């Protein structure tokens, strides 16, 4: 039976490894992956050039310890990667972007497999303690996601898991002596701290248990702490030049970050970690084999009393971890990984209790007792007539209900069409922009090129088959002269007939050209918003501007529109700047959260309506309209707007305002159409919208509505006549 246990452990490990390898090969680039990839690339360059002494001087992302980034750098160096001699300190334009296809990682993908390795080792460690817990951790979607990407999670998650499990083994000693397992837990606690601080914070739960076991040998407690600190400082070379000062700066960053615009935009509630328990499967449909995190969470609640009786340290780990998640203001989903092994151990405690109650083990005796209750050749139970009737009635009711649901669903999706990359219908599933040209063709910009729809015929434009300068399209706009402008991560393209022209950052007079928004003035000028300011093209020359000139705290222009008076409205994460070049009023006007009626500084979308009003989609403040009398905002509390973060806007030929509302707690959302009095809400549940995570909206000449999504392709809706 020992062989059965070994085979079971091997199968669980293989399942966890296979799931993570699959994710590493297919998941799009995540939010922080470009940051850590660049740090690793920089380290690899230093190593390749033999400039090891420069490693402690590289303080990019000082807020996090250096060990994991160094480990990623070593992997790249071993794979033959080397940065250029004049490698910039921070990532240049066009390095990597959130949402890029996995193939864009190139050689950097080796670091995903470093994460996969440590994620699999974490699964192995938990499986050796409790096979059911290991199985749950192997398929846990949130854990699998962040231990398959170039994040800082996999290494410290593995380290702190093995540290606590090792400490638990050391605590079994009844003679009070310190053994190898105890010192291993101390070293791994230091390694976790040198990887990411929040895992070390979770590991502090071990200290009271160590202190109690070693209360007669207090010097061992002191040595435990000193060993952890020694490993921490040894594995974080960034601290070597100035240990106290740099550690202080690193820790204080997190306190300041909780007050940042990015955190304020999402405004997650204190209970947000509970909402993350639904798992990462909702973000990447079809990528996870067993998207049932919520089941693991519910089982962990049931298992709490069993876990308390079986292992007080694991119980304390779970409780302490939840406490940390609740009190810390920043609520990013990857933070939940500090407790996911404890969740799985709590769920596994139920199976362990059952096994102990009925003396179930991996041995011959257990198998014989189980086999006694299994049916043999003579086994047969003849069902009663009443049971047969009941089964028939239930099957009939289910069939009727199923048919009714399918009929209703068919009615809801009537008029809806979905286009995906898998079906070869669009160039990429991460759609970022939509525009209609003078011939009535629909331009669809994605992170993988452009799809041009002329009727039902699709044409694909890529950097390798057209003059398109960059496949990562971010914005589209048609100007008054019938030219199509294409914003990308490396500049602007303009198409006039068969002629293409490109503009770089230098030509536009901007520090960089990562375009975030485009807006055409009906009078002729074309506005471009980038991460480092805005620029306007008057037909012959460019002129650059920055919201910093208006007194705002951000130069990244996320949204643009031009009002009826010719003023350019620039939305940023820190407010709204209005630039008037007509000379009829003040050159700059600003609106922030201090402006009466406007509660949010994060402006994510802008559009003008036929009456001359300007609509602003905000990050948490709802949908707001500015007219001569001031601001009026529609929020969940005073309207039927589904959520208060609005990321895309459009106005149709009837004057209705269409807004894409983003869910604050998880990916997804809904589309809301507002005619000034009534709201009509579209979600994947009541329509054929492929997902609620909509990034752009367009109405074509036939009156059809097109909805771009952030990873699920394109939806088109043709309203009934």
Tell me the whole-structure pTM to 2 decimals.
Answer: 0.74
Reply yes or no on whether the pLDDT at 377 is more than 60.
no
> Which of 713, 646, 653, 664 shows the shortest CA–CA distance to 684?
713
Q: Give the up-direction half-sphere exposure of residue 424: CA atoms within 13 A in the CB hemisphere.
A: 1
Q: Which residues contact 273 (CB under 8 A, 6 or more apart)?
A: 322, 325, 326, 331, 335, 336
Neighbours of 405 (CB within 10 A): 10
pLDDT digits (tens, 9 = 90+) for 42-77: 999 999 999 999 999 999 999 999 999 999 999 999
Q: Which residue has the higher pLDDT, 623 or 260?
A: 623
pLDDT score at 364? 63
pLDDT score at 368? 65
Neighbours of 560 (CB within 10 A): 25
| DSSP per-residue string spanning 182-201 | HHHHHHHHHHHHTT-HHHHH
pLDDT score at 1? 56
Reply yes or no on whether the pLDDT at 363 is more than 80.
no
Neighbours of 331 (CB within 10 A): 22
Q: Which long-range contacts (CB under 8 A, 24 or more apart) does 225-228 make?
A: 225/186, 227/183, 227/186, 227/187, 227/190, 228/186, 228/187, 228/189, 228/190, 228/193
Q: What percentage of the chain carries pLDDT values higher than 90?
A: 66
Reply yes or no on whether the pLDDT at 675 is more than 70.
yes
> Which of 160, 194, 193 shows the shortest CA–CA distance to 67?
194
pLDDT score at 362? 61
Reply yes or no on whether the pLDDT at 378 is more than 60.
no
Reply yes or no on whether the pLDDT at 379 is more than 60.
no
Q: What average pLDDT does the segment 432-459 reach?
A: 93
In which band, very low, low, confident or very high, does the pLDDT at 367 lie, cut at 50, 70 and 90?
A: low
Lowest mean pLDDT among 102-116, 311-325, 409-423: 409-423
Q: What average pLDDT does the segment 214-243 reach?
A: 94
pLDDT score at 408? 73
pLDDT score at 382? 64
Reply yes or no on whether the pLDDT at 405 is more than 90.
no
Reply yes or no on whether the pLDDT at 86 is more than 90.
no
The mean pLDDT of the chain is: 90
> Which of 185, 245, 192 shows the shortest CA–CA distance to 67?
192
pLDDT score at 383? 66
First to last CA, the chain: 69
pLDDT score at 488? 94
Reply yes or no on whether the pLDDT at 443 is more than 90.
yes
> Which of 239, 241, 235 shows the shortest CA–CA distance to 74?
235
Q: Which residue has the higher pLDDT, 329 or 116?
A: 116
pLDDT digits (tens, 9 = 90+) for 283-322: 787 789 999 999 999 999 999 999 999 999 999 999 999 9
Q: How far is CA 180 from CA 186, 294, 323, 406, in A?
A: 10, 37, 30, 61
pLDDT digits (tens, 9 = 90+) for 142-166: 999 999 999 999 999 999 999 999 9
pLDDT score at 254? 83
pLDDT score at 505? 92
Q: What average pLDDT does the segment 433-441 reach?
A: 95
Q: What percentage of the chain carries pLDDT values higher than 70?
A: 93
Reply yes or no on whether the pLDDT at 204 is more than 70.
yes
pLDDT score at 48? 92
Q: Which residues contact 560 (CB under 8 A, 6 or more apart)?
A: 517, 518, 519, 527, 528, 529, 534, 568, 569, 570, 571, 606
Burial of 695 (0-12, 13-18, 19+ CB in 10 A): buried
pLDDT score at 658? 97
Q: How far is CA 490 from CA 40, 48, 310, 485, 519, in A?
A: 23, 28, 58, 14, 18
- Helices (H), strands (E): how many in the chain? 20, 28
Q: Which residue has the higher pLDDT, 604 or 268?
A: 604
In which band, very low, low, confident or very high, does the pLDDT at 266 lie, cut at 50, 70 and 90?
A: low
pLDDT score at 422? 82
> Which of 699, 691, 701, 601 shows the shortest CA–CA distance to 649?
699
Burial of 55 (0-12, 13-18, 19+ CB in 10 A): middle
Q: What average pLDDT does the segment 498-527 reach?
A: 93
């Amino acid at each position: 039976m020992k062989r059965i246990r070994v085979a079971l452990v091997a199968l669980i490990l293989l399942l966890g490894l296979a799931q993570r390898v699959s994710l590493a090969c297919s998941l799009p680039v995540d939010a922080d992956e470009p940051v850590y990839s660049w740090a690793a690339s920089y380290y690899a360059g230093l190593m390749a050039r033999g400039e090891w002494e420069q490693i402690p001087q590289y303080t990019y992302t000082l807020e996090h310890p250096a060990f994991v980034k160094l480990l990623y750098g070593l992997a790249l160096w071993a794979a033959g990667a080397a940065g250029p001699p004049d490698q910039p300190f921070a990532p240049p334009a066009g390095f990597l972007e959130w949402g890029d296809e996995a193939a864009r990682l190139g050689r950097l993908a080796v670091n995903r497999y470093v994460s996969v390795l440590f994620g699999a080792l974490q699964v192995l460690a938990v499986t050796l303690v409790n096979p059911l817990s290991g199985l749950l951790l192997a398929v846990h979607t949130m854990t699998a996601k962040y231990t398959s990407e170039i994040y800082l999670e996999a290494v410290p998650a593995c380290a702190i898991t093995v540290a606590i499990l090792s400490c638990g083994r050391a605590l079994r000693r009844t003679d009070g002596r310190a053994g190898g397992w105890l010192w291993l837990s101390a070293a791994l606690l230091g390694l976790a701290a040198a990887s990411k601080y929040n895992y070390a914070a979770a590991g502090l739960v071990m200290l009271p248990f160590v202190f109690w076991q070693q209360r007669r040998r207090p010097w061992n407690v002191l040595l435990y702490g000193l060993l952890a600190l020694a490993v921490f400082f040894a594995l974080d070379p960034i601290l070597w030049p100035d240990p106290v000062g740099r550690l202080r700066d690193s820790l204080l960053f997190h306190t300041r970050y909780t007050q940042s615009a990015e955190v304020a935009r999402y405004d997650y509630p204190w209970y947000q970690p509970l909402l993350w328990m639904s798992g990462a499967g909702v973000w990447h449909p079809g990528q996870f084999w067993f998207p049932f995190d919520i089941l693991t969470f519910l089982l962990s609640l049931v298992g709490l009393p069993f876990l308390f009786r079986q292992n007080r340290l694991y119980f304390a780990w779970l409780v302490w971890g939840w406490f940390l998640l609740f009190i810390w203001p920043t609520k990013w989903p990857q933070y939940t990984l500090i407790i996911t092994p404890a969740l799985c151990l709590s769920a596994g405690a139920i199976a362990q209790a059952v096994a102990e109650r009925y003396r179930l083990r991996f041995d011959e005796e257990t198998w014989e007792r189980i086999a006694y209750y299994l049916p043999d050749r003579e086994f047969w139970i003849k069902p009663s007539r009443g049971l047969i009737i009941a089964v028939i009635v239930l099957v009939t009711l289910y069939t009727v209900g199923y048919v009714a649901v399918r009929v209703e669903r068919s009615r809801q999706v009537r008029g809806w069409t979905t286009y995906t990359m898998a079906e070869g219908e669009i160039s990429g599933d991460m759609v970022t922009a939509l525009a209609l040209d003078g011939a009535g063709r629909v331009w669809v910009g994605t992170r993988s090129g452009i799809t041009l729809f002329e009727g039902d015929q699709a044409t694909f434009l890529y950097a390798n088959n057209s003059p398109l300068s960059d496949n990562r399209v971010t914005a589209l706009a048609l100007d008054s002269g019938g030219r199509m402008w294409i914003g990308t991560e490396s500049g602007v393209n303009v198409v006039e007939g068969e002629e293409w022209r490109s503009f770089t950052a230098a030509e536009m007079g901007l520090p960089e050209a990562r375009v975030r928004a485009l807006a055409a003035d009906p009078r002729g000028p074309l506005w471009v918003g980038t991460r480092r300011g805005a620029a306007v093209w008057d037909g012959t020359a460019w002129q650059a501007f920055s919201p910093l000139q208006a007194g705002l705290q951000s130069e990244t222009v996320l949204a643009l529109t031009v009002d009826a008076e010719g003023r350019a409205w620039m939305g940023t994460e820190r407010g709204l700047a209005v630039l008037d070049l007509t000379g009829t009023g003040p050159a700059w006007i600003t609106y922030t959260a201090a402006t009466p009626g406007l509660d949010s500084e994060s402006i994510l979308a802008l559009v003008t309506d036929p009456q001359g009003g300007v609509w602003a989609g905000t990050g948490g403040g709802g949908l707001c309209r500015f007219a001569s009398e001031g601001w009026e905002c529609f929020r969940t509390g005073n309207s039927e707007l589904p959520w208060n973060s609005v990321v895309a806007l459009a106005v149709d030929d009837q004057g209705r305002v269409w807004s894409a509302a983003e869910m604050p707690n998880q990916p997804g959302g809904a589309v809301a159409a507002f005619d000034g009095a009534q709201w009509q809400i579209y979600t994947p549940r009541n329509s054929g919208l492929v997902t609620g995570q909509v990034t752009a909206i367009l109405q074509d000449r036939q009156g059809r509505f097109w909805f771009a999504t952030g990873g699920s392709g394109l939806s088109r809706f043709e309203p009934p006549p």
